[in-house]
Amino acid sequence: MNIVSRCVRCFVIAIVAVCGPGLGAQAPAVDSPLAVIGYFTETGAKSGLFTVKNLVATGAAARLTELDYAFGRVANDQCQVADSERALKHSYSAEESVDGKADADGPNQLRGTFHQLQELKRLYPKLRVLISFGGWGASSGFPSAARPDNLHDFVRSCVHTFIEGYFAPGIRASGIFDGIDIDWEYPVGGGVAPGSPEDKKNFTAMAAEFRRQLNAVRPGLLLTAALPAEPELYEHFELREISQYFDDLAIMAYDLHWDTEPITNLHSALFHDPADPSKPPYRDYYGDFAVRGFLAAGVPKEKIIFGVPFYGKGWAGVKDENHGLYQAASGPAKVPSAYRVLKALPSAADRQFYSATATCSVWNKGNFWSYDCPDAVRAKMAYIRRQQLGGVMFWELSQDTPDGELLGILSGSQ
């Protein structure tokens, strides 16, 4: 986001803080003072569960300010198209396409998801589309790519391929992606792939190099990152230094407790629950603690994006005491945890909204899930406005209900 648009957004946020949240809710999502950022997965598109056309059909495209495509791949110190068959070559029929036209045949013709994104942007020119790299279990390429001897060429490959649009030999289409989102999970340690102490400095240098090369192509291209909410993980980032290079830093305020833990817990609490039996450092795993940590580290509040989940964590073998919360479990629940699935559970299920922690749970037939229901999402949006943060991010679009209930709340349209 360029300096002018950033300042305009900050000014409007200040007005909303004084006059109340209703002012912002009256405007279309694209003109909202708050960023509304949603992840779109190639996996969802490939399965047919949520395609680019669904962004139009559900009204999601009109509610978002930014769409993050997940994921590109970092491998061999280069940025790559992760699934070139689906992203570049797959032929969408007229019925499946955003513009109602079948993809053209022939060599060197852009098809696939990237072409659908191209058509989406023609319908919604204010929607910013970013390519995201990394994610849980797919960040192993970053430590090598970010080393000083690889850094320039690594960043150049990302910008050349995705910003300038050289997707494959003979296939070029610039302007589809308006920037780059970094989801390295995690530098130094804490993720699936091993890290090293050098990652901390290398991440800062990587941010500076991305900013430099993006500005050289065109001022206004976005650079964002998704960062952890756990303090021992975000301490592996030089938060003050990197915030000068990133337009937004999104806090992933979810997955704070996992269904592999023997005792059920809240995976996306906003505030601390004094009844939480967790020991340090786990007792500090809640969203507000992370926000205060980022602010204390020197991150401007308008650059902080608060992350919410459209899914839950589920445990099996849980007795219905205390609504299943803080109870022994036999292992992860087998039922999928997307919000659309949890909402479809029987009316007899034990559903709870915890106003003190701003999150929810549901117990049904021995299974317990911690998730964010509509009341929780409303509470978190009120918190974002009170704190005058930059906006909200969520993972991910296919996990909402077909009518986009949670996204409607985030965008102020419900």
Q: Is 96 labeled as catalytic in the residue annotation?
A: no
How many whole angstroms separate alpha carbon 339 and alpha carbon 98? 25
> What tokens appear for 14 in the block?
């200040």
Q: How much is the pLDDT for 11?
A: 35
Least confident range of 14-18, 51-55, 205-209, 257-261: 14-18
Residue 277 reports pLDDT greater than 50: yes
**61-70, pLDDT tens digit by residue?**
999 999 999 9
Q: How much is the pLDDT for 413?
A: 72
**323-353, pLDDT tens digit by residue?**
999 999 999 999 889 999 999 999 999 999 9
DSSP 3-state percent helix, strand, coil across the chain (nearest 5): 35, 20, 40
**95-133, pLDDT tens digit by residue?**
999 999 999 998 899 999 999 999 999 999 999 999 999
Q: Which secondary-structure segment (H or E) carries 246?
A: none
Looking at every residue in the chain, the average pLDDT score rounds to 92
Q: Are 397 and 411 in contact (CB under 8 A)?
A: no
CB atoms within 10 A of CB 184: 27
> What tokens appear for 52 in the block?
């680019």
Q: How much is the pLDDT for 289?
A: 98
What average pLDDT score do residues 295-299 get? 98
What average pLDDT score do residues 157-171 get? 97
**61-104, pLDDT tens digit by residue?**
999 999 999 999 999 999 999 999 999 999 999 999 999 999 99
Residue 13 reports pLDDT greater than 60: no
Residue 12 reports pLDDT greater than 80: no
What average pLDDT score do residues 403-408 get? 97
Residue 8 reports pLDDT greater than 70: no
Query: Among 249, 248, 247, which residue's Cα sits nearest to residue 237?
Result: 249
Q: How much is the pLDDT for 22?
A: 33
> What tokens appear for 113 in the block?
């998801």
pLDDT band at 33 (very low <50, low <70, confident <90, very high): confident
- Does residue 253 or residue 13 have the better pLDDT? 253
Residue 248 reports pLDDT greater than 80: yes
Q: Which secondary-structure segment (H or E) carries 54?
A: helix 52-57
Q: Which domains does the chain have, with CATH numbers?
A: 3-310+372-411 (3.20.20.80)
Residue 244 reports pLDDT greater than 80: yes
Q: How much is the pLDDT for 370?
A: 98
pLDDT band at 14 (very low <50, low <70, confident <90, very high): very low
What average pLDDT score do residues 36-57 get? 96
Q: Are 299 and 274 in contact (CB under 8 A)?
A: no
Which one of 66, 185, 230, 396 is the catalytic residue? 185
CA 99 to chain CA mean position, Å: 26
Q: What is the CA radius of gyration of the chain?
A: 21
pLDDT band at 3 (very low <50, low <70, confident <90, very high): very low
**20-31, pLDDT tens digit by residue?**
333 232 223 334
Percent of the chain whose pLDDT exceeds 70: 92
